[in-house]
Amino acid sequence: MKDWMGIKDLGEYLQISENKIRFFIKHKQIPFHEKHGLLRFSREEIDDWMKTPDTKEIGEVEEKERPYVYRDKPIREYSLSASKVLIGKKPWNRLPEFTRSFIDRINDIKVHDGGRDFLYRKEFSLFSNKYSDYLNVSYQLGLIEKMHGVGKQKKYYPVIYAEKIAKEDSEEQIKSNIRDAILDIVKRKLETSPDERHAIFLLWYMLAIKANGLQPDESHFRKDSGELSYYPSIRFNFSKSLCEFLFDNDRNKEQRFLDEWNGLIRTIKTVKRKEVKERLTLFDE
């Protein structure tokens, strides 16, 4: 056995998941060493750690029982809908193609149809027989915006991230643009405006579960209510496939993105508290 181990080696040595090890690291509950961005574990220190009695701090609860809260609201109180079609990796790989078709059609209309810069919902049927799912997910991920038009027909506009994707050949850069679009939605607090963007909440939930050292499964996506319309397997598979598409099962990439995401939320809350405090100060004066 090696004197120094990486995360994968340690997982095999202790027979626990890598997610659980990362949770221990995050909460400084396991001895580790970091140098030049590399995490290493001393077998001798790990053996001593395993022999040390486990003493929980007062008030500590098991991570699986700890509520996952997003913007001061338990995540399971969001509707957390999911597509029944966009499950698996292949449909996600068709998303850039759908986006390019949208941009190409918009550009064509600008030239030949009086400069209109949007499409009506029915016009997307030319791109795919599953256009409704791709359209909804594109909106939820921040690639497309929509507004009601005359006669309650929705108008769909491309966002700058969709335009970037249409010009890209690099698969990694396309995924990077989608991640940037998500963070932009978070930064502008548009997750529920005008509609709840279910894909964003499901992705955050999947990443948060992993960050807490757990292996996500269907039980995490099961509500406590008896709703017949709720399908935990669909939501779990949807979240899992989106996560795999965006991060290629790279846990470091997932964690960095989640940290940036949560950092945005904390910054927004800090700014909001500061604004409230300043308004109260002015009122007192």
The whole-chain average pLDDT of the chain stands at 84
Question: For 224-249, what is each residue's pLDDT tens digit?
Answer: 554 444 578 889 999 999 999 999 99
- Cβ atoms 232, 242 nearer than 8 A: no
Q: What is the pLDDT of residue 59?
A: 39
Q: What is the mean predicted confidence (pLDDT) over 85-94? A: 84
Of the chain, the end-to-end C-alpha distance in Å amounts to 69
56: confidence class by pLDDT, cuts 50, 70, 90: low
Encode pLDDT of 142-200 as tens digits: 999 988 665 567 899 999 999 999 999 999 999 999 999 999 999 999 999 878 899 99
- Confidence (pLDDT) at 96: 94
Residue 196 corresponds to which tokens in the numbers above?
């709840």
Domain residue spans in the chain? 4-52, 73-271
Q: Does position 57 have pLDDT exceeding 60, yes or no?
A: no
What pLDDT band is residue 65 in, cutting at 50, 70 and 90? very low
Q: Is the pLDDT of residue 213 over 80?
A: yes
pLDDT tens digits, residue range 70-89? Answer: 998 889 888 888 887 887 77
In the chain, alpha helices (H): 7-14, 18-26, 43-51, 89-93, 95-112, 131-140, 160-166, 171-187, 198-211, 232-247, 251-284
| Angstrom distance (rounded) from CA 194 to CA 22 | 36
Top pLDDT among 52 and 270 is at 52
Q: What is the mean pLDDT of residues 123-148?
A: 90
Task: Render pLDDT for 270-279 as a digit per residue (tens, 0 to 9).
Answer: 655 554 444 4
Model confidence at 16: pLDDT above 50: yes
Answer left, alpha or beta for residue 92, where phi above 0 means left and psi between -120 and 50 means alpha. alpha
Would you say residue 29 has pLDDT above 70?
yes
Q: Find the mean pLDDT for residues 15-22.
A: 86
Q: Which residue has the higher pLDDT, 95 or 84?
A: 95
What pLDDT is stored for residue 77 in this prediction? 85
**Dist CA 86 CA 140 (whole Å):** 13
SS3 per-residue string spanning 148-177? ECHHHCEEEEECHHHHHHHCCCCHHHHHHH
What proportion of the chain, given as a percentage, has pLDDT over 70?
84
**Mean pLDDT, range 32-52, rounded to an integer:** 89
Q: What is the pLDDT of residues 260-270, one digit of tens each?
A: 999 999 987 66
Confidence check: pLDDT of 209 > 80:
yes
